[in-house]
Amino acid sequence: MPDHPAPTPVRARSPYRWVLMLGALAALPAFTVDMYLPSLPEVAADLGSSASFAQLSVSVMLIGGAMGQLVIGPLSDRFGRRAPLLWGLGLHILTSLLCAFAPNMTVLVGLRLLQGFFNAACGVAAMAVVRDRFVGAEAARILSRLMLVIGVAPMLAPTFGSAVAAAAGWRWVFAVLALAGVVMAVVVWQLMPETLPAERRQTGGGLGHVFAGYRVLLRDRRFMALAVIPGLGQAVLMSYVVGSPFVFQEGYGLTHAQFSLLFALNGLGLVLSAQVNAALVRRVAPIRILRAAMAIQGVFAVGLLVVALTEAGGLIGLLAVLWVVLAFQGLIPANASAIALSRHGERAGTAAAVIGAVQSGVAGAVSPLVGVLGGGTVAMASVMLGALCCSLLVLALATPAYRRGGWVELAH
């Protein structure tokens, strides 16, 4: 069972300012992945690596993010949100610059692991600050609004990254990411106040207290189920992310510009569905939206695999079904995360770390399967469907969401 809830957070006076600021923070890790995507084939060729090893440079960043969040989350509960965030941004800047000078793929993969570890502070801070200032359906609404900002990353990052790489080479993509870290550090330093007052910080000593906090969360079966769902959803997205450059650029012959436009259109679907969710949570309990969206998404994922196997409809048919599958993802993580966070508001940083770590870890573990299975359209669709089936099973078996009247237990 969750602990007694923390004092109700005070609602922010300027929610849109917080949405923009926290959304930009939460988008930085995603931007770090997406700017690099159009360059993957060139990076593999330049560094004398295979396609699957190049894809690993994307996946390890997620694994690094998982580890980083487990460390940074408790630190943010003990020392506040600002200090760990600023340290994380500073080290993100350093590792981005080192990536720009990587001599081979092995070094680049190692640096990407560290890059993910350090910029994990951005995601932890964004989620914890939302819980510091918002609760319940309001938190789900704000998290959905964050998706509007986060959705800009897949819409703009590949185009921007492709333009930078075309003008100056793929190494300059990392220089731009370092500059983005500098900008965010200045914004946080100047504009983001501390949202966790000293009297609400975790003051227990040492690693024992940290492990005790994690033990409380790990024993809460429903919290863990809700924490796994965004992770499996991220696995769906990352399976698309790591597979799409090879499926569409090498398999279907799309140019950099066409691939960037495709990425933008799929990002638009995520943004639109996130805004639909932000409106729906005013009238419908987040758990009801979650259980319906996941079931519908699963049906379309089956359709995606059928299209991949039969090639029905060609490229257009594949893109149409893929767009729907990805769009429904905008209705899932915000609701699952908000319900999970509401169960442990007194240790929001640690809870956010568990959610984020599971999200990055599961996605980092699952997405390389696309390359292992061959990297083609069928491999990408199969891994996406597998992750969605696991997600549905978790919701059905570990929560009462699909039981008669059971959703009421998770609605408050």
Task: Going from the first residue of the chain to its last (412 residues), give the mean pLDDT of each consecutive group of 10, the final group possibly shorter.
Answer: 45 63 84 80 83 78 82 80 90 94 90 91 82 69 68 68 84 93 92 78 63 80 88 85 80 79 81 82 84 92 92 88 90 84 69 78 79 83 92 89 66 51
Computed over its alpha carbons, how large is the radius of gyration of the chain? 20
Q: Looking at residue 139, what DSSP letter applies?
A: H
Contacts with 241 (C-beta within 8 Å, 6 or more apart), sequence order: 33, 34, 37, 58, 367
Tokens 């696991």 correspond to: 390
Q: What is the pLDDT of residue 118?
A: 92
CA-CA distance, 228 to 326, in Å (whole number)? 18
Q: Looking at residue 406, what DSSP letter applies?
A: G
Q: Looking at residue 399, what DSSP letter applies?
A: S
Tokens 């946080």 correspond to: 188
Alpha helices in 245-311 (DSSP H): 256-280, 286-310
Tell me if 185 sits within 8 A of 286, measured CB to CB.
Answer: no
Angle made by CA atoms 155, 351, 6, in degrees to the nearest 5: 120
Tokens 């069928």 correspond to: 378
Report which of 71, 131, 63 is spatially closest to residue 338, judged by C-alpha positions: 131
CA-CA distance, 229 to 357, in Å (whole number)? 12
Instruction: Report the amino acid identity of residue 357.
Output: A
Report which of 256, 324, 249, 339 is spatially closest to residue 291, judged by C-alpha positions: 339
Could you read off the pLDDT of 253-305 as tens digits, one per residue? Answer: 888 778 878 877 887 888 788 788 878 887 888 888 898 999 999 999 999 99
Q: What is the pLDDT of residue 371?
A: 77
Contacts with 30 (C-beta within 8 Å, 6 or more apart), sequence order: 150, 153, 154, 157
The dihedral over CA atoms of 356, 146, 400, 409, expressed in degrees to the nearest 10, equals: 110
